[in-house]
Amino acid sequence: MSGPRLGVNIDHVATIRNARGGGTPDPVRAALLSEQAGADGITAHLREDRRHIGDADIDGLMAALTVPLNFEMAATLEMQGIALRHKPHAACLVPEKREERTTEGGLGVVQDERRLAEFITPLREAGCRVSLFIEADPQQIEASARIGAPVIELHTGTFAEAHNAGNVERRAYEFERLAEGVRVATAAGLEVHLGHGLDFDTARMVSAIPDIAELNIGHFLIGESVFIGLEEAIRRMRTAIDEGYAEGRAAA
């Protein structure tokens, strides 16, 4: 029984490369290895400050990948131009702040509804599957559906943090918030992805929620590959996702 698709985020291969300023490790090589190990897609976030993935990495990924590229981007005209030039399979809009270490919180779709509606139109017309990275907040979910985004990605960061802190009550609360978000989104006709901060345990848990199409996972997999190799980390993640999915089906 096969669970949600697994998108592997290779940003932090570029983080390690950039720490030395040379060409290794190469994120495109990591992406191709991820494909071989069973990744259903590759995610890369071209940040405004190019702190990890660079423009040449996106060129390389577009040329080499046989699985879909999910291009993570801020809702800026520069990034829109790059996405329209490459036409990746998917464009995932994320909030971006220079001072943050990783994407904090979700996009404020309610607060920026009219601008985002206009912003995603050319991307959709170019054939990119637009996804909005948001908190599992019914108002944000409904606004995403209103502006015509076909996909949302719900932020799993607070759920993962609660698990890592051993806070079982908080984890149960965050799990239910995600599950309810998925129900609201599915009822509104949206495809639902999940991502941020997931490891083997938390990916397994959220895969039990019905109607999840995709999980996007990066930091943990790249870190784990130091110990067990990238292919093995991806294989184990695939197994965790499939087991969680099967458990969810059995419990339904």
User: Any contact of residue 6 with ligand PXP (CB under 6 A)?
Assistant: no
What tokens were used for 180?
């309810």
Cβ contact 103:94 at 8 Å: yes
Nearer to ligand PXP, 1 or 196 (CB): 196
CA atoms of 85 and 83, how far apart (whole Å):
5
Q: Which of 6, 8, 9, 116 binds ligand PXP (CB under 6 A)?
A: 9
User: Any contact of residue 216 with ligand PXP (CB under 6 A)?
Assistant: yes
**One symbol per residue from 132 to 161: x for binding ligand PXP (CB under 6 A), - otherwise; what is it?**
-x-------------------x--------
For 195, list phi and psi in degrees, rounded to 5.
-175, 160
- Check if 89 is active-site: no
Our CA dihedral for 220, 223, 228, 231, rounded to 10 degrees, sits at: 70
Residues touching ligand PXP: how many (CB under 6 A)?
A: 19
Please state the closest distance from residue 125 (CB atom) to ligand PXP, in A.
23
Cβ contact 60:29 at 8 Å: no
Which ranges constitute the DSSP H helices of 105-197?
A: 113-125, 138-146, 157-164, 168-187
Selecting among 35, 72, 153, 224, the annotated active-site residue is 72
Q: Which of 65, 79, 217, 240 binds ligand PXP (CB under 6 A)?
A: 217
Our CA dihedral for 110, 116, 117, 122, rounded to 10 degrees, sits at: -160
Q: Which spans of this chain sit near ligand PXP (rule: CB under 6 A)?
A: 9, 11, 45, 72, 92, 94, 102-103, 133, 153, 195-198, 216-220
The residues annotated as belonging to the active site are 45, 72, 196
